[in-house]
Structure 1
Amino acid sequence: MKKVFVIFTLLISFALTDLAFAQDSKATVYGRIFMPVVKKKSRTFRGRLYRNRLSSRKKRQKTATAPRTSFQDVIIAAYPLSFKPKTEPLKKARILQKNAEFRPHVLAVTPGTRVQFINLDRFFHNVFSYTPGAKFNIGRRPTNSVYSRKIYKTGKINLFCDIHSQMNATIVSLDTPYFTQAGKTGVYLLKELPPGKYRIEVMHPDFPTTESEITVKANEKQEQSFTLSK
């Protein structure tokens, strides 16, 4: 009996060692995204119609949007080709409606994720989508209203506001746990990749998706840059 216990203990020890090695042997892919960029000027929005009547402010809201670059709308996703990953819903995902904009403009999630839509403006907003398989309309919502919507399908889901026609956003539902978004200058960092072969997809709402296959080794830091063009 004692011998069996010793063997069992050794097996557990080896399993834990292998698990620790697997966790410590993850690879990193990094690089830069190149693409034509059109700089968007900050603008002032004046909420006239559908303002929240509960607001105590009598003056019109006049606020400038924060600067944002097109690089921040780029999603880099890694799809394993040598093994099947376990993809779970994100614990937290939300899109704000602020200064008559959706923030973020592009949101990456996984299937099953519940996305919150929060109106932070002092006037009414709406969110709707006509994307096949993901059609919904939350109606017109006042300030500080919160609405949750579960995402079931994979792919792009286009969002709009039926009150403010200039407002639009995109939810990208990915069937992989390995993804990231580029920063303001186009630099990205894709971490925690188990060793193996991957198909890399680089996505942006205004450009065709760029694909590439790579192989990463344990503890490797691999540089991969991508160019998006129409």
Structure 2
Amino acid sequence: MRTCSLKLYARCRRGVASGALTALLALAFATPAATAGEIHASVRDRDGKPVADAVVVATPAAGTASGSHAGVAEEDQRNKEFVPHVLPVQVGTRVSFPNNDNIRHHVYSFSPAKTFELPLYSGTPATPVLFDKPGVVILGCNIHDWMVGYIYVSESPHFAKTGADGKATLTGLPGGEYTLRVWHPQLEGSEQATARQLAVPSSGAVDAATTIGLVPDFRARRAPTPGRGGY
């Protein structure tokens, strides 16, 4: 009985040692959890009021940003307005322009970043428009002069748009030094004038508050358009 007990004890000891070795090897070769930093941005005007529809962009201070958010986006037309008023996308994104009004629209842009035209149509055009250059694309409708929208085409995958509270969160940023910029349709001065350097941690968040000046909105007054035959 004593001999059997000793053999059983030895087997148990070998099993425990083997299990412990397996656990240590698993820890040694486990893939480290991915970590990334965040920017908690806030944008206000000179009166301290939150600014909605501001695009906040972060680009690495050295090198090119990795990753891509390019894909397919949508710029709707509802109640004779472009929705959303500001659409931020990355270079390489294709944007569809569905018309959900019961009248036809004629969408166009003469902006250097993208010149295109979608003649009078209803429903959704078959082919989305490719936005392949960075910059601001101003949208208009040949039928309704007050219809103005903006597509901000970012060269960086790190961008976000502020909400009604003037806040936006940029996520998934590798730690390092970044240049942060802010753009808005009514921005006073240049986007480059808002640039600032920011250190983003490898894990965790950094706050970034920006104050910008705004110029008046010079869009044409919304009014019925006589003689358009239902357009």
Q: Which amino acid aligns with 1:146?
A: P
The answer as to whether partners of 2:76 and 2:83 remain within 8 angstroms in 1 is: yes
Structure 2 residue 115 is the aligned partner of structure 1 residue 145: no
Name the SS for the 2:145 alignment partner.
coil
Name the SS for the 2:98 alignment partner.
strand
Which of 159, 168, 190 is the aligned partner of 1:179?
Answer: 159
Q: Deviations over 1:73-108 (max 9, x none)?
A: 200010011342235352231100000000011111
> What residue in structure 2 maps to residue 220 of structure 1?
204
Identity of aligned residues (%): 27
- Cα 1:34–1:89 shift into 2, 3 Å: closer
1:11-160 aligned at under 5 Å gives the runs 13=29, 16-17=31-32, 20=33, 23-24=34-35, 26-35=36-45, 71-88=51-68, 90-142=70-122, 144-147=123-126, 148-160=128-140
The answer as to whether partners of 1:88 and 1:112 remain within 8 angstroms in 2 is: no
Q: Which amino acid aligns with 1:227?
A: T
Q: CA RMSD in A?
A: 2.3
- Cα 1:27–1:133 shift into 2, 3 Å: closer
Superposition TM-score, scaled by structure 1 size: 0.73
How many residue pairs were aligned?
Answer: 183
Provide the rounded CA distance (Å) in 1 between the counterparts of 2:131 and 2:50.
24
Q: Which amino acid aligns with 1:33?
A: V
The answer as to whether partners of 2:45 and 2:212 remain within 8 angstroms in 1 is: yes
> What residue in structure 2 maps to residue 51 of structure 1?
none
Residue range with higher mean Cα deviation, 93-102 or 77-86 = 77-86
The answer as to whether partners of 2:107 and 2:141 remain within 8 angstroms in 1 is: yes
Q: Deviations over 1:35-91 (max 9, x none)?
A: 168xxxxxxxxxxxxxxxxxxxxxxxxxxxxxxx98332000100113422353522
- Cα 1:27–1:88 shift into 2, 3 Å: closer
Provide the rounded CA distance (Å) in 2 between the counterparts of 1:36 and 1:204.
14
Q: Which amino acid aligns with 1:13?
A: F
The answer as to whether partners of 2:68 and 2:90 remain within 8 angstroms in 1 is: yes
- Cα 1:193–1:133 shift into 2, 3 Å: closer
Name the SS for the 1:146 alignment partner.
coil
Q: CA deviation at 1:166?
A: 0.3
Structure 2 residue 177 is the aligned partner of structure 1 residue 197: yes
Structure 2 residue 186 is the aligned partner of structure 1 residue 206: yes
Gaps (5+ residues) in structure 2?
Answer: 1-24, 215-231
Superposition TM-score, scaled by structure 2 size: 0.72
Gaps (5+ residues) in structure 1?
Answer: 1-8, 38-68
Q: Which amino acid aligns with 1:213?
A: Q
